[in-house]
Amino acid sequence: MPNNPPASSPVVVRLIDVSKRFTIRRNKAGSLKEHALALVHSARRETHEDFWALRNVSVTIGAGEAVAFVGRNGSGKSTLLKLIAGILSPTSGQVGVRLGARVGTMIELGIGFHGELSARDNVYLNAAIHGLTREEIDAVYPAIVDYSGLSHFMDQPVKNFSSGMHMRLGFAVSITLQPDVLLLDEVFAVGDADFQRRCLQTMQEFRARGGTLLFVSHSPDAVRQICQRAVVLDAGAVVFDGPVDEGLGAYAALAASHGELLPGAATRGVPSGAGPWHQLAMGGAWEEIGNWAHDFLRAEGLDADQFLLDVGCGSLPVARRLLPIMAQSHYWGYDPSRELFNAGVLHELNARGVDPARGHFILNDRFDLSECPYGFDMAIAHSFLHRLLPDQVGPCLSSVVAHLAPGGRLYLAVGPASAAGHRGPMGQLVEQLARAIGVPIRLCPNAGHPRGDEMMVITKP
């Protein structure tokens, strides 16, 4: 059922029974010879096929909402944004945007840019289309250039720009013109990590100012940080409209039903169909991780009376092994993903007869462990770091280390070493962060992680 905006929130965008049909032409004849051949050979004749990108879509979005549109490739997400932007017209149904609302768009790399024009001319052209006067454009132009970081390229034709430069310029124009509604399609698909982090921060600030955001992304982490509502599309139809965590769970289940991994999951060679979506979302080897963590931690000295934190417990591969043997309330699990946790409790613990009430679980996306009343003797992040954006790793480590008891240890799976034996990017980042917060870190040799990850351990002084 469609999820209506809060009653106090005025409607900004409304789609009512919207459908969009495209006609696909095959064997299109472009010359007299091709026409003549088509008369003789039926296989060469032009044919037409209808493709319905959207079917009977109804969505209502209120002012100040941040809504993610998620779904598999070809589900109709980008078409929907183009209809809202007015780039396309619906075949049937109604698309409405509040009168007077300024709409900023970054729907497709290069869209709205003329390749032969310079970046400077394209900025002025785009701003003029949005209704700004020459004087107003002059006033905002320096901010656009500064945000994009392309000051040395503004007189170059944009046809020579890389995809990352297109993204920088397009996003800078869209956000600097202070729209009421911002439409973004795969803004994290290209560009460097630093600019992507800046985009993420800008979108959060845009929301804080009361802007309405419609966001298409295959990054669950970005969706969680920005949006509170998710609309899941499949084959052009809305199959879910509601809270983000539940929506991403529905999306992941849908992807798994088609033999795909949850976007953002580290596959590391895990074959398609190797397990349910909530197991694949954690990188695969779900059963093996639980068995390994039990043996590894026991070998490192874990006993039933110590307090353990399972960082990124997710769908609970470790909990299903440790909950039965740990003292009551001595196992704690933390995860930002409610849909993974729900799958772990409902499918995994229930199937194995493990009582989740034997432990404690913390669910938030802020790495907030403040409800823990004591320090942990051990903590393990067996599959979590690969689910984080790079700028989330530091806050995660700082929070966990702060909640270790003196002498407590945090074990981290940091990804495999390179073919030459050098530490991988995540291992290097973790080492730098450990030095920054002043805690010793070392490699755990021969840890035997099921996915071949190196294991590092931080010990709190």
Enumerate the CATH 3.40.50.300 domain ranges in the chain, comma separated.
63-257
Rounded CA-CA distance 184/172 in Å is 12
pLDDT at 38: 57
Enumerate the CATH 3.40.50.150 domain ranges in the chain, comma separated.
286-459
Q: Work out the number of other CB atoms within 10 angstroms of the CB of residue 36.
A: 12
Structure letter (DSSP) for residue 378: E
Superfamily for 286-459?
Vaccinia Virus protein VP39 (3.40.50.150)
Rounded CA-CA distance 179/177 in Å is 6
Torsion 384-390-394-396 (CA) sign: negative
User: Which two three-digit tokens encode residue 177?
Assistant: 């013109």
Mean pLDDT of the chain: 84
* Neighbouring residues of 129: CB distance < 8 A, sequence distance ≥ 6: 112
Out of 16-30, 240-254, 385-399, least confident range: 16-30
Q: Is the pTM of this model over 0.75?
A: no
Structure letter (DSSP) for residue 177: T
pLDDT at 39: 59
Rounded CA-CA distance 402/439 in Å is 11
Q: At 9, is the secondary structure helix, strand, or coil? A: coil
CATH number of 63-257: 3.40.50.300
Tell me the per-residue pLDDT of 115-170, one tens digit each, with 9 for 90 and over: 888 999 989 988 887 778 899 899 999 999 998 888 889 999 988 887 778 878 88
pLDDT at 222: 75
Query: Among residues of the chain, what percentage have pLDDT more than 70?
Result: 85
Q: Long-range contacts: 191-200, Cβ < 8 Å, 24+?
A: 191/163, 191/164, 191/167, 192/164, 193/390, 195/149, 195/164, 195/167, 195/168, 197/389, 197/390, 197/391, 199/171, 200/225, 200/226, 200/389
